[in-house]
Amino acid sequence: MKPISIRDMSIRFGAVTVLPKVSFDVAEGECFGLVGESGSGKSTILRCASLLLDTWSGEARIGGTSVREMSPADRCRTLQMVFQDPYGSLHPRHSVRTVLSEPLKIHHFDDHAARLEQAMIDVGLPVAFLDRYPHQLSGGQRQRVAIARALIVEPDVLFLDEPTSALDVSVQAEIINLLVRLQAEKGFTYVMVSHDLAVIDHMCDRFAVMKLGEIVEILPRSAIVGNQATHPYARELIGASLSYENAL
């Protein structure tokens, strides 16, 4: 629904420059992947662009407006994030109903009951689960709740920070199919961080390979199968992933 454009994003923590200068564009309705080894700055990009970290320089525009210039309420209703660990991203003492109705109260939405019900249906959870607490849900169900929480404010852009890496393989597939379905239904723009090239291959149109905070190459999905990357690091990464899959 809204394109994303990131220009010269750079951040440093003390003496360490985590992102030197990162730029990339995501078209509206596209799913864009970020891959790379641990510590290569993938999640940091999402945290910067969502202003969870705000000591960075550069520019991040969503739908033409800089995220820094949006009012907090606008920004929340433009972009939402799904976190890696569904065990840590839901408040242990809040029921699903509380988790989902909080954003409705903050943004003064009407008709809470219907919206809660619709959000649960959207992510494929029984409506009766509204009164459950996180410890009464499985990992996959928790991640669905986390997705529902992101959806309920009707954002245009969803940041997915390794949404499946904490989950079992079969549950991963469910969550990925759910995300694909939601994108088809609502036309979200996704930026997805993942270690798993198979997940990227399944979901993303294009992806960026990152190393030490820099994007070494941006490739289309079709480049995975024949390992058509040109940069040696990207070739190595894709090659390793392919040989791992062949070994299985």
Partner 1 sequence: MTEKTPYATRPAPDLEWLRSLRNIVLYLARTPTSAFGLLVLVVLVLAAVFCPLIATHDPYLQDLQNTLAPPGGAHYFGTDELGRDIFSRLLYGSRITLTIISLVTIVVGPIGLFVGTVAGYFGGRVDMVMMRLTDIFLSFPSLILSLAFVAALGPSLNNAIIAISLTAWPPIARLARAETMTIRKADYIAAARLQGASPARIIWRSVVPMCLPSVLIRLTLNMATVILTAAGLGFLGLGAQPPMPEWGAMIATGRRYMIDSWWLVTFPGLSILAVSLAFNLLGDGLRDALDPKQMNRR
- Which residues contact partner 1 by CB under 8 A? 47, 50, 52, 72-73, 75-77, 79-81, 83-85, 88-95, 97-98, 102-103, 106-107, 113, 117, 127, 130-131, 133, 135, 146, 149, 153
The answer to whether residues 201 and 31 touch, using CB atoms and an 8 Å cutoff, is: no
Show Cβ contacts of residue 153 under 8 Å, excluding neighbours closer than 6 positions: 76, 77, 80, 103, 107
For residues 78 and 172, which CB has a smaller minimum distance to partner 1 in the complex? 78
Beta bridge partners of 190: 31, 158
**Minimum distance from residue 72 beta carbon to partner 1 (Å):** 5
Q: Cβ closer to partner 1: 134 or 216?
A: 134
Residue with tokens 């070494």: 216
Kindly state the DSSP code that residue 156 receives in the 8-state scheme.
Answer: S
C-alpha–C-alpha distance, residues 178 and 207, integer Å: 20
Least distance from partner 1 to the Cβ atom of residue 196, Å: 20
Q: How far is the CB of 177 from partner 1 (least distance, A)?
A: 23
| Burial annotation 214-223 (CB, 10 A radius, 16+ → b, else e) | bbbbebebeb
Q: Which is nearer to partner 1, 179 or 229 (CB)?
A: 179
In this complex, which beta carbon is closest to partner 1, that of residue 117 or of residue 236? Answer: 117
CB of 204 to partner 1, least distance (A): 22
Q: Least distance from C-beta 158 to partner 1, angstroms?
A: 11
When the beta carbons of 79 and 199 are compared against partner 1, the nearer one is: 79
Give least dist CB 44 to partner 1, A: 13
Q: Which is nearer to partner 1, 117 or 196 (CB)?
A: 117
Q: What is the bridge-based pairing of β-strands 31-36 and 16-26?
A: unpaired
